[in-house]
Every structure is written in structure tokens, then in C-alpha cells.
Amino acid sequence: MFASMARAATTSDVFNAIAEPRRREILALLRTGERPVAELSQELGMSLPGTSKHLRVLREVGLVRDRKAGKQRLYGLDGRGLQAVHEWTGGFEQFWNESFDRLDAYVQDLKQERQEE
């Protein structure tokens, strides 16, 4: 029962899906365009079934789309799925900007003190 609950969380939540390093690697590879699973598998040094499993999770949470191209299936990034991640991380942008502003003000104060000495 517990395993099925964990599986459901992984496949229904973008944050859980991208918590897995291999899935983040797949997303990074797909930034340059669509790729077949065999190419992704080779780039990652993983088995085809392992790569397919990660792609399935990424597809289920809306981060990856796939389409048939002749005999192969091509996988591509679906940026819409990253919207929730973007919105969440964007909430920290103000924090970092304010932190850098405070650091800059501190550095300027130090420079001023040195010039006055």
C-alpha cells in the first residue's frame, strides 16, 4: 500500500518528478529539441527500459510530450508543465534581489570607510 502511495505522488506532482536527478538530466537534454528514447538512453548511459520509465513519469506530470515519427517515438520538453516550478521559484526572486542589494550596500559602506581612513 505504501509503495503505491509513493508512486502516485511521483506521477502526479511535478516537484516529486524533478526531484530525481536522472529526470532533471533528461529535461536538460530535451532543452535542445526532440530526441528518441534510444538517443536519450545512450546519452545518460542507462538502459532503454530505465529511460522509458523516467520519460513516462515526466510525461504523466506534463513535463514531456511525445509523438510518433515513422517507426520511432520522439520526446520533447513541454514547458507548460514547468509553470508551477517557475511560479514557486519566482517567489524567491525578491528575497535574492533584496539579499544582493543589502550585500552591495554593505560593500559600498566598507569602501567608503576605507577611503575615509
10-residue stretch averages of pLDDT, the chain, 117 residues long: 45 85 96 95 96 95 94 92 86 84 87 85
What pLDDT, on the 0 to 100 scale, is given for residue 53? 96
* Spatial contact of 79 and 63, defined as CB atoms under 8 Å apart: no
Nearest of 67, 84, 70 to residue 30 by alpha carbon? 67
Q: What is the pLDDT of residue 1?
A: 43
Residue 8's pLDDT is 46
Q: How many independent structural domains does the chain possess?
A: 1
Q: Enter the DSSP assignment of 39.
A: H
The pLDDT, as a whole number, for residue 7 is 45
102, three cell numbers: 543589502
Structural domain containing residue 102: 2-116
pTM, full prediction? 0.71
3-state helix, strand, coil in the chain (%, to 5): 70, 10, 15
pLDDT at 33 (0 to 100): 95
pLDDT at 62: 93
Nearest Cα neighbor of 64 from 49, 81, 86, 41 is 81
CATH number of the domain enclosing 45: 1.10.10.10
